[in-house]
Structure formats: C-alpha cells, structure tokens
Amino acid sequence: MAKKTNNNLEEIKNLLEKLSNAHGISGYEKEVREIVGKELKPYTDKMETDKLGNLIATKKGGKLSVMIAAHMDEIGFMVKYINEKGFVYFAKSGGWFDQTLLNQRIIIHTKKGSVLGVVGSRPPHIMKAEEAKKVIEIDNMYIDIGAKNEKDAHKIGVEVGDTITLDRKLESLSNKMVTGKALDNRAGLVIMIEAARILSKMKTKAEVYFVGTVQEEIGLKGARTAAYSLNPSVAVAVDTTIPGDYPGIEKKNSSLEVGKGPAITVSDAEGRGIVVTESVLEWMKNSAKKGKIPCQLSVLEGGMTDAAIINLTRQGIPSGGISIATRYIHSPVEVLSLNDLQQCAKLVVECVKSADKYF
C-alpha cells in the first residue's frame, strides 16, 4: 500500500522555506514583500503597497471588514564602521541576545550583491579565566569578510548602512518540525497566505484585508499606519510566541507547547502590549470550537505583536492575536511545528467566517 502524504502540509513547508530563506530586516522588506504579493495575488481582488511599505491585499466582501496582519521584517544588523584592516563593525536591528551571534555566518547585502562574512571576536585562548566566563557583547564582535584592508572592503562592495542577515536555510527535523531563521514572522505570513487561499474558495460576509506589515521588530510601525488607513471593524495579528516546553524555561513562564495548536492571545507584555477584550476572545475561542481546532490560551509577560498598536489606532480597533508556539525565537535556529501552522490558518479562516456575528 502506498504511503499517504499530506500534500497541503508539503506546500505549506515549501512556502515557509521560501520565505524563511528570503532576507529583509526592518525597513528593507522588499524581497519578502515581492514573494508575499506573488502568493496572495491569485486569492485576492486588489493589491497595493502603501507609502511605508506595507503590502495590502483585499478580498472584497460586505461592509464589515477584517484585517489580518503579519509582519514581514526579520531582526538583523547594519554596517556601522569598517576599520583600516577591513573588519566590519555592526549595529543590531531588533532584539538580539548577543550570545547567539558569535561565530555565525552572515550575508551583507550590498549594491554589488551579497557578501558572505563570519562574526568573530577575540579568541578564548588568550583570555583570562574570569574573562572567558563572561558573555561576549556585540561591541566586541566584528565581521570578517576576508578583506585585505578598508579600501579592499569598499572594493568588495561593503559600505556603511548596508543591511546584514543570517546565512541560514530552513531544514526539517523529526515529527513535522522545522528549524530556520526568521520564522518570526515568516510563519505568520504563511498562515495569512494559507488562510487567503482557503477563503478565496468561498463567499464571505466580511471584506478581508491581508496585510504584510513592515518594521514590526523595531516598534510596530507598519501596523500603525496600515490600520489607520484601513480602519477595519476588527483585526487579528498573526505572529509567533514563546512556548514553555523545553529546558531552560518553566511552564509557569509560558504554558504553551509546540504541536498543541494555535495560541490565542489573552494578554501580552504584562498588559503593556494588549489586553484582548472579552468579545474578541469569545469570537476566537468559539471559532476554534466550531472548527474543531485545538487551541491554547496565551498570557505572556514579555513581547508584544502588531495587535498592540492596531488596538490603539483611531478611536480603538477591536484586536486579537493568533500565534504559533516557536522555540528559540530571535535566534538563527527557531523551531516550530508544520501541523501548528496548518491549524493556525484554519483558525484564521473560522474567525473570518464568523466575524459578522460578533462585530
């Protein structure tokens, strides 16, 4: 008997791979935006890019409108200085934990093309014992591109202001798990696109805005302008979130688990992000129940999503969050479950289908 395969899950993985492997730090999302636009085009009626760079694809419907937002940017770096020997010093763009950066291979995106480099620092062999125990900070790291000197680095194409991303490719783990860079939030984009694909096959009472937002990692900037322009009846931010199912983190810090389905946000950043209203929570929980979708409730003390800023736009836009539990967020080796991706997309669809009953 032939082995059964989940073609849709394979398609989801292929799309995630394409987006994860793409490059685009905050403010430089063009490569990612082009992929998302191409994927959304067959499933929507209208598409535009606003002045800040947000991609807005619209599925026409009734007077009610639902905004589905997923940010396109990834955390990365920017060239800030090249010394006389040709070593490149860099600034962070987004929330990095310095310890994850050392000895990584990176790509500098120059006008002449991609330039490979490695993040280096003073070797531990010549450190004193106490010094070697300390975490090396980014100020003591540099990038080696193999340049002979500063002039040679410029000749290769590297200039101050060039963006830098990690040189990583998506890889498969066991049990339909994958690992790669920028799953925060290329996973959210996949969920949004998959939801658009499913919704394109049905009539909806709501008009749906599928929005790829920019500059989320450095201040939720794109979501603010897009939400102000669209002024939707209700909004859902689709993103990644932190599980508590691996060593080094306790369940009391996060009760979420990878593989247990979508995480519905109740509150994040100790309420400094968003405290989701009861009506929005009821909408999401009932949508999961109706679709027979396993879900988890998320109350987190750290981090926030686009929902936090959309919620505060204009006179206030009812907003919620649907997230996928992802291990090792803001590192080169983020890990998530493809099954969770699929279930998250289904929950977004169910929410859109029932929005008219709540808003």
| 92 closest CA partner among 327, 326, 330 | 330
Angle at CA 188, nearest 5°, toward 187 and 192? Answer: 120
Question: Which amino acids are annotated catalytic?
Answer: 216
> Burial level of 135, CB count in 10 A (0-12/13-18/19+)?
exposed
| 322 closest CA partner among 301, 352, 292, 357 | 352
Query: What is the spatial distance between Cα 206 and Cα 67, in angstroms, rounded to a whole number?
Result: 10
What is the sign of the dihedral through the CA atoms of 127, 130, 131 and 132?
A: positive
List, in sequence order, every residue forming a beta bridge with 25; answer none if it has no partner.
Answer: 74
The Cβ of residue 100 has, within 10 Å, a number of other Cβ atoms equal to 13
Residues 6+ apart with CB under 8 A from 342: 8, 9, 12, 194
Residue type, 83: N
